[in-house]
Amino acid sequence: MTSSLAAPVPPRCYALVPCAGVGQRAGASGPKQYASLAGQAVVAHTLAALAAVPRLAATLVVVSPQDPQFEDHVPNFAGWVARCGGDTRAVSVLNGLQALRERGALDADWVLVHDAARCLLQPAWVDRLIDACQDDAVGGLLALPLADTLKDEHPSAPGRAAATLPRSGKWAAQTPQMFRLGMLQRALHAAAAVGATITDEASAIELQGLAPLLVPGEMENLKVTWPADFALARRLLETR
């Protein structure tokens, strides 16, 4: 006798790329994600790496509603574009999660949020994160243990050190950051309700009393933020 119950659908993995920033710190003439780097826009490098990860069901890019540039800079993008970006990263991600729902994503599906400006991403690093997190109850993020000595700036003398901070147990967060769609959506809503400052997805999850998994990343997975970062990223791309 054949059962009428459908087999459960395995959780899928989606990439979500917030791409609504204006890049004020990069020194570029426009948003840093559209700055030219080694012959392509910064975000084009990012999306090419994500497109090379077979386990990603789709990639959704969240741009500003007033953004007229994305398609010009990434003309062959085969993923989804949602013009629902907000004033902050958290708002853009939250709106992007809703856009994924509208395209069929479910609570239990995984969402890998990745910075548009981390353009040196390699598919193997994404696979490493998926391997580490796919059976985890919380999810996690790529991160690097801090190697440098940390200094606390003097509160009344900017540019001068006041104290040395212990670096043991400290990690620098990277992306992608991988969490279940439903869990991340609830965490971001809860953080917004109390006015919490959310700088990455893991910080919203942590506010729920949960402990994201720290998955060792790579030094090359830098976020292009300052003018000098472009020169370094260009050299790394050209020597790969």
Omega of the bond leading into 176 within 30 degrees of 0 (cis): yes
2 has pLDDT over 60: no
Residue 179 tokens, joined: 């969490």
Distance CA 46, CA 23 (A): 16
Distance CA 177, CA 138 (A): 11
Tell me the per-residue pLDDT of 90-147, one tens digit each, with 9 for 90 and over. Answer: 999 999 999 999 999 999 999 999 999 999 999 999 999 999 999 999 999 999 999 8
Residue 3 tokens, joined: 């059962």
Residues 6+ apart with CB under 8 A from 110: 11, 12, 13, 14, 130, 133, 134, 139, 178, 179, 180, 181
Residue 18 tokens, joined: 């917030």
Domains, the chain, ranges and CATH? 13-238 (3.90.550.10)
Tell me the per-residue pLDDT of 68-87, one tens digit each, with 9 for 90 and over. Answer: 999 999 999 999 999 999 99
Residue 31 tokens, joined: 């948003």
pLDDT band at 28 (very low <50, low <70, confident <90, very high): low
Decide: pTM greater than 0.85: yes
* Residue 227 DSSP SS3: helix
Tell me the per-residue pLDDT of 191-220, one tens digit each, with 9 for 90 and over. Answer: 999 999 999 999 999 999 999 999 999 999
pLDDT (0 to 100) of residue 22: 65
Distance CA 154, CA 239 (A): 40
Q: Convert 131-166 to b/e letters by CB count within 10 Å (16 or more is b).
A: ebbeeeebbbbbbbeeeeeeeeeeeeeeeeeeeeee
